[in-house]
Structure 1
Amino acid sequence: MSMIKSRKHQRASQLLAVATVALPFATHAADDPTQLPTIEVQAEQSNLKVDQSANTKYVAPLLDTPKSVDIISQRLLTDTNSNTLATALQNVPGITFAAGEGGTPFTDMPYIRGYSSESSIYVDGVRNSTSQNRDMFAVEQVEVTKGSSSTISGGGGVGGSINLIPKTAHQGDQYQGTIANGTDDYAHIMLDANKDFGKGTAGRVVVMAHQNDKAGQTNGAEYKRIGIAPSVAFGLGTANRATLSYYFLKSNDEPDSGIPFNNASVPTGISGTAGNGEPVNVKQGTYYGWKNRDFDKRENHIGTIKLEHDFSDDLTIGNVATYTKSKSDYIYTNADDSKGNIYRDPQTISRRALSRIVDTQGFSDQLSLKGKFNTGTIKHSFNTGVEYSYQSTDQGVYTFTNTAGTTTSTVFSTVCNASDAANNGWCTSLNNPQNGAFTDTLGSIRNQYTTRSRNTGIYLLDNIEFTPQWILNLGARWDDFNTERKYNKDVVSRGTTTPAGTTISSDTDFFSYQAGLVFKPTKNGSIYFSYATSVNPVGIDQGDGSDSLSDAIKNLDPEKARTYELGTKWDILNNRANITAAIFRTEKQNTRVTNGDGTTANVGSSKVDGFELGINGNITDQWAISVGYNYLDGELTDNGYVNTGTSTNPIYTASPLNGNQLPFVTKQSATLWTTYDISPKLTLGAGAQYKDKVYANTANTKILPTYTIYNAMARYNVNDNINLQLNVNNISDKRYFTSAHAAHYAFEGEGRNAVFAVNFKY
């Protein structure tokens, strides 16, 4: 407990330090209130309805874009107190979450329309694929593109992609922030100061410090992080503009360990009753971690130089160059369900130690030309460009030597017996896990191997308006993707040793396309049909994720997908709100599948059919709403073949998994957030999130149950500059599960919690 108290004291010191750094900005704001008109602009941008993507590759307003794009506005982020990407995305139906194991247990792993988007997360259009839990302190809005999207984003994007729009310096003085406290040792401070120095020059700095224990767990997972995002802009309001920005986020968490599955089949040789495939029915908040050993430390740096020059009102050239550097360093306890210990008497769980030591650095440059021109009566809005990126990742692991002298760099996973439960902390009670002293000796093997990837892309996007009623949207992109892994030391994995000096590589190039036809029966409405493709090359995670390069897949072709979508979009109620609807199908081919003979081949396929509905904006001047519904029917149409014979006399037949539901697809999901201004002073808000059951594996034997949670908010405006806000989440204290690893465990959602915040703006 002394160590935990020390940690919390350090976190309080960090919060105080951040407040001290930002205090001069806040003090200056109080002395100089002359820039209030800028706040009016920000208020207009705070609507739940967003009409234009901040991604310049969307060359038309969203109303005229033949694709489903969900935008989480700054207003919605603030109303719901969503300060991580995972919590923000819970406001978008059709998104589920997975969890990694040895590689990526604690990182953003969203699935959009049933397909992983872990390697399709971007910051201002630049790929940001390193494993991390992203914070929203320096994010203006989150844009979710649904459906195949490689033409927009490059490799990946089978089910869609996510683009984070950063907060950068702008014209006008503005000083704002949040100081919050809550249950479960919740403390949060965010200060955001923008200063207009005149003559087109402005500076901005956003700082943040945060801590909280996981709501619902007693002496369990803990989270703390600190960040800063300064930027300076030159030439604002002129034809030549430059923005220099830096982003830094550092976290030091006590990681969660998950809840094991009560498997629908009992391991061979174990006597016991099979479960229902859901996580075991233990007390809510049960924690299997090893607090005097487990940790999760990460750092992320992004430096950006953005340049723009206007040749005219209709032609702009721009260049975005970024340098990224990240570190990932963790050991965590995995609650292993594979040994059948939960079926024994007494019921126990075998703890597995998994770790990673990762250092990643990368460079990206994007040169683009965007503008408008006419060919006769036909109007064009276009964006064309060339992109290059390079990323290098060094990866290693920790080692564990037990009291018997056995050393491993992977796990200790045993069949527990009475002596294990009594004398070895690796085995502990299923229902009452203990946190005794850690007896193993830690070591490390750094820089076991290095993964390097290079990507070059060329694209052209054109929005062609034949008449005000008919618009054709076209796009094409070519990419060359090369990745290689060099083993710097001998690496042992699952009994196989890869010797030092071994190099494996994959080099491929591919095209992706999109086309959409838009019909506008009225100025405020559109009906569209679109077709888009995506390509998922080997090693798209670039060495820091769950889709890594290996010897088994190095020679395989990229996975491919295509999406068909028929939809409609309407601005209603004098453009205060919009409604959207779409039906779609995504088909994935060339899926990498491990066959019955142990080889991996591009023989798999799957599909997802679905439809979605959405409303965003203001119903009246006082009533705002964001509501969405999504239906997905995902099917594993071909999972290769299996060997139903023997190794000497094989008999290959179609996989029995064919026809199963695709993992991490929720058939039905819905989100609701609504606020009502009771008076000019008081606003009340309420929301709900519903997700149907989710299968966590292709066998459909591990299940995340259906759940609905309810949230509420109350905000009181003390004056024009200060308001008080109370958020209560998971009001009914529902036990639910947000994500899972297909093999072993599921992560519980947070229990009931409350946060009280003081928000200010000058």
Structure 2
Amino acid sequence: MAESKLTLKELSATPHFTRRSAQMAGTLTFAISTAMLGNAYAEEVALDKLVVEDERIAADSNPYAEPGAPYKAKTTSDKRRVREIADTPQTMTVLTKDTIEDSGKTELEDILSAQPGITLGTGEGGNSFGDRYIIRGYEARSDIYTDGLREPGLITRETFALEQIEISKGPSSTFAGRGSTGGAVNTVTKKASMEDDFVNLEGGLGTNAAQRYTVDANRVINSDLGVRFNALYSEADTPDRSPAGERRTGALLSGVYQPSRNTVLSADFYHFRADDRTDPGYAYDRSTGGFNEYDYVGQNGLDFQRSEADIFTFTVEHDFGRGVELQNKTRLGETANEYVVSAYSERFSNNLRSFGGWQENDYLGNQTNLIIDRELFGKRNSIVVGVELAREGVDSGSYTRVDYNSFDLDPYNADNGLWEGRVERNDANAELELKTVSAYLMDTVTLTDQWEVFAGVRYDHFDYSLKAIPRGESEFAEYEYTDGFWNGHLGVVYSPWENGNVYASWSTSSNINGGEADAGTNCGYGGLCNADDGSYTDIKPEESVNLEIGTKWELVDDKLLATAAIFRTTKDNVIEGADYESAGSGNTGKNRVEGIELGLSGKLTDKLNVQAGVAIMDSETLDSYFDGTHAVEGRGGISYPNYIGLPKANFAEKSANVQLSYQATPAFAFGGTATYSSEILGGQPDQGSSGSVKLPSYTVYDLHASYAFDEQLSLSANVQNLTDEQYYTAIYRGGSIVYLGDGRSASLKLAYKF
């Protein structure tokens, strides 16, 4: 007799399925079986056996994780990715809720910087202080998404309301639109549920005056309506760098309503405030290659970094049946980032430098997806047709120190008195409006049991308008232009084995002139560039092409995913610019990054969970205006070398992260994390690095443990940077800012669920 299994997880995917539905299904199965037995004596009937397995996931668990393997994500949250991660022809690193919680890291910046292939950039004179990511050597500070929609602004991002973090590697503009040369990051928020009522309370204390409190509560109003509320209060000093520190408050209110069997409406409102004192770390001494170490030099009452976010998202989903589904998302958001950050600079007459700026962003976006999953021409087709509309507005300006008095104190033993005075916020010196209309078509076709093909194409049309005061001038200039570009994505998956496949993919992306909204007319930092002749409208979008060959294997009864890929990304028509000037050299550059990336996530054994990755990469500048013939004299007397043949700046050739968790008993688990990065060279984005400024390699170890007293009460502990390693995560182009990694810290967290 054949046996087909229908799990409760599969049943729960149907509309209105609840625990009561499960009980009814079981009762109905029993009744039918009894009735059939009554006829068994009359004639022999061959029936498939229906087995109902209780694999229901708790309402507060990650719905995208593999059941029984909390470190392994089975799917992404983006419905446009119509196949499971194991069958998607692209490198993807997905961090589940359990992975994030066990790591003990609460800032998106700290989590991402530990992942292989990702480094950090610094705030500088040409771009804002804030979360700045570099994926596979390419800027990604504007390639951050939340629930599939672009997130506005360069702000601090927290994890208290996150369910999952999805990192796609390589160009994927079919999904993301402009940018995403090295990859893109999508954060997934916790959603309201109509399954269960629960309240999770967590409180934690730690070294460096750390305290953190969160609430996660879900309420089922009725069978069609559920609401969820997440809240955060957190504050802590930066380890060994007090009074540098942070204070965060936040809330996420979400709701889901199902007015009919096939229609679901959901909405959420995200509110966040960060009031920090940022520590820029140490300064690099070019003459010795060492670091000038000094205490935190931020000025009491003057230095600050504040982030704000208020973002509303509304989603409508309707299932027409027969494999046709419509999804529409609308987002309206405002963010702000303002800062005054003091740093000592060996290069500038041994003086204290002050970086100040503010940025306000507003975003209105709408995305509509029609998903058709049905048989066409005898083959299964999973088609996505989409349209995306967006309007982004960015106003930015600076701060000025007034009533300034300097003190002749030893900068290596600062006592918060290096200068005194006050700061004033200036009017905006740049106002940007970017309107985008996009359309895309994607299809995943199952040709045979072994062959599957993915193909996608996207067109983006934009209107760019910038009113700004160029560097060195006092009057506003207005810049306007419009353009459009095509991008494509093609992947082939071959699965001759039951649990494994090999794949090949080709994908492209485009970056527009002035695409980094925080950079204004600072050409060298992603702002709007003027070519030598003063023209900016003739500068074409930068173009990137990625080639990747890889393999993915589901092992240990599908509880472990192993991946490996080799890739090459080539970026052409690179817009080059020196320093903060608005003049550049047009599309004169070309560079390449290639390498291999390995990944492992899930269960190694019944008790051992793993999330691991290794990236080994190489970069090279293939063409540049700065070829020796056109070498120019930079600020501070720096002579730019011939960049051709040089590696990329802000780039680690080798990086790795391994996180393990061992469930020693049903109540007790423990584990640790090791993070490694090879040396990082300083320099300007998308220009070769001469190696005159560099950071050493480092390895950092973390520990975590947890004990569950019962189903409701648990205690967890984390130790970050166990060996108190002194390490550096990012370096300013000239070396005067070297971000210092956090020293050792420890924390305890008590969690109660009811």
TM, length-normalised to structure 1: 0.85
Question: Structure 1 residues 503-512 or 36-45, which shifts more?
Answer: 36-45
Distance 1:484 1:231 in 2: 35
Distance 2:425 2:704 in 1: 47
Alpha carbons of structure 1 residues 620 and 492: separation in structure 2 relative to 1, 3 Å: closer
Quote how far apart the aligned CAs of 1:226 are.
0.3
Residue aligning to 1:637? 622
Alpha carbons of structure 1 residues 749 and 105: separation in structure 2 relative to 1, 3 Å: farther
Quote how far apart the aligned CAs of 1:644 are.
5.4
State whether residues 595 and 642 of structure 1, in contact with CA within 8 Å, keep that contact through their aligned partners in structure 2: no
Aligned residues with identical type, % of pairs: 26
State whether residues 591 and 605 of structure 1, in contact with CA within 8 Å, keep that contact through their aligned partners in structure 2: yes
Residue aligning to 1:14? none
Distance 1:85 1:761 in 2: 25
Of 590, 599, 603, which aligns to 2:588? 603
Distance 2:672 2:640 in 1: 49
State the Cα deviation string for residues 247-284 of structure 1 (Å, max 9, x = none).
01101111213311111xxxxxxxxxx222x5x1526x
Residue aligning to 2:137? 114
State whether residues 513 and 575 of structure 2, in contact with CA within 8 Å, keep that contact through their aligned partners in structure 1: no
State whether residues 608 and 660 of structure 2, in contact with CA within 8 Å, keep that contact through their aligned partners in structure 1: yes
Distance 2:499 2:260 in 1: 30
State the Cα deviation string for residues 174-218 of structure 1 (Å, max 9, x = none).
22132111000111111100111123210001000111110121x
Distance 2:335 2:566 in 1: 39
Alpha carbons of structure 1 residues 504 and 551: separation in structure 2 relative to 1, 3 Å: farther
Alpha carbons of structure 1 residues 654 and 293: separation in structure 2 relative to 1, 3 Å: closer
SS in 2 for 1:367: strand
1:203 aligns with 2:194: no
Letter in 2 for 1:682: F
Quote how far apart the aligned CAs of 1:312 are.
0.7
State the Cα deviation string for residues 1-41 of structure 1 (Å, max 9, x = none).
xxxxxxxxxxxxxxxxxxxxxxxxxxxxxxxxxxx976277
Of 707, 713, 716, which aligns to 2:704? 713
Residue aligning to 2:642? 656
Letter in 2 for 1:724: L
Question: Structure 1 residues 448-457 or 103-112, which shifts more?
Answer: 103-112
Of 438, 444, 450, which aligns to 1:457? 438
Q: How does 1:501-512 map to 2 (within 5 A)?
A: 502-512=477-487
Distance 1:444 1:182 in 2: 35
State whether residues 357 and 446 of structure 1, in contact with CA within 8 Å, keep that contact through their aligned partners in structure 2: no
State whether residues 160 and 231 of structure 2, in contact with CA within 8 Å, keep that contact through their aligned partners in structure 1: yes
Distance 1:646 1:191 in 2: 57
SS in 2 for 1:521: coil
Of 622, 626, 650, which aligns to 2:607? 622
Q: How does 1:550-569 map to 2 (within 5 A)?
A: 550-551=529-530, 554-555=536-537, 556-569=539-552
1:150 aligns with 2:161: no
Q: How does 1:142-181 map to 2 (within 5 A)?
A: 142-172=165-195, 173-181=197-205
Alpha carbons of structure 1 residues 53 and 292: separation in structure 2 relative to 1, 3 Å: same
State the Cα deviation string for residues 313-351 of structure 1 (Å, max 9, x = none).
511111100101112222111332322x4xxxxxxx311
SS in 1 for 2:98: helix
Distance 2:519 2:333 in 1: 13
Residue aligning to 1:33? none
State whether residues 282 and 292 of structure 2, in contact with CA within 8 Å, keep that contact through their aligned partners in structure 1: no
1:499 aligns with 2:475: yes
State the Cα deviation string for residues 37-73 of structure 1 (Å, max 9, x = none).
7627727737111111111121211111110011010
Distance 1:363 1:636 in 2: 37
State whether residues 730 and 753 of structure 1, in contact with CA within 8 Å, keep that contact through their aligned partners in structure 2: yes
Quote how far apart the aligned CAs of 1:437 are.
7.0
State whether residues 369 and 383 of structure 1, in contact with CA within 8 Å, keep that contact through their aligned partners in structure 2: yes
Distance 1:352 1:304 in 2: 40
Distance 2:548 2:162 in 1: 29
Distance 1:313 1:523 in 2: 28
Residue aligning to 1:88? 111
Distance 2:143 2:699 in 1: 28
Alpha carbons of structure 1 residues 205 and 236: separation in structure 2 relative to 1, 3 Å: farther
Q: Which runs of 5+ in 1 are unaligned?
A: 1-35, 264-273, 342-348, 404-422, 648-652
Residue aligning to 1:414? none
State the Cα deviation string for residues 413-460 of structure 1 (Å, max 9, x = none).
xxxxxxxxxx723x6424212311743343332233311111111011
Residue aligning to 2:89? 66
Residue aligning to 2:651? 665
State whether residues 62 and 164 of structure 2, in contact with CA within 8 Å, keep that contact through their aligned partners in structure 1: no
Q: How does 1:691-702 map to 2 (within 5 A)?
A: 691-697=677-683, 698-702=689-693
Question: Structure 1 residues 434-443 or 476-485, which shifts more?
Answer: 434-443
Of 740, 743, 748, which aligns to 1:756? 748
Letter in 2 for 1:434: D
SS in 2 for 1:382: strand
Q: How does 1:244-643 map to 2 (within 5 A)?
A: 244-263=267-286, 274-276=287-289, 278=290, 280-282=291-293, 286-339=295-348, 341=349, 349-402=350-403, 424-425=406-407, 428-436=409-417, 438-487=419-468, 491=469, 493=471, 496-500=472-476, 502-543=477-518, 547-551=526-530, 554-555=536-537, 556-594=539-577, 599-641=584-626
Residue aligning to 1:733? 724
SS in 2 for 1:47: strand
Distance 2:315 2:694 in 1: 45
Letter in 1 for 2:334: K
Letter in 2 for 1:559: E
State whether residues 90 and 689 of structure 1, in contact with CA within 8 Å, keep that contact through their aligned partners in structure 2: no
Q: Which runs of 5+ in 2 are unaligned?
A: 1-54, 633-638, 684-688
SS in 2 for 1:449: strand
Letter in 2 for 1:548: G
Distance 2:693 2:481 in 1: 33
Distance 1:161 1:312 in 2: 32
State the Cα deviation string for residues 549-592 of structure 1 (Å, max 9, x = none).
35457331111111100000000011111100001101111111
Distance 1:700 1:668 in 2: 16
SS in 1 for 2:704: strand
Alpha carbons of structure 1 residues 43 and 155: separation in structure 2 relative to 1, 3 Å: closer
Quote how far apart the aligned CAs of 1:83 are.
1.1
Q: Root-mean-square deviation (CA), in Å? A: 2.4
State whether residues 530 and 584 of structure 2, in contact with CA within 8 Å, keep that contact through their aligned partners in structure 1: no
Quote how far apart the aligned CAs of 1:761 are.
2.8
Distance 2:225 2:157 in 1: 29
Distance 2:434 2:121 in 1: 25
State whether residues 209 and 237 of structure 2, in contact with CA within 8 Å, keep that contact through their aligned partners in structure 1: yes
Quote how far apart the aligned CAs of 1:492 are.
6.6
Distance 2:367 2:281 in 1: 40
Distance 1:337 1:562 in 2: 40
State whether residues 626 and 643 of structure 2, in contact with CA within 8 Å, keep that contact through their aligned partners in structure 1: no
State whether residues 504 and 551 of structure 1, in contact with CA within 8 Å, keep that contact through their aligned partners in structure 2: no
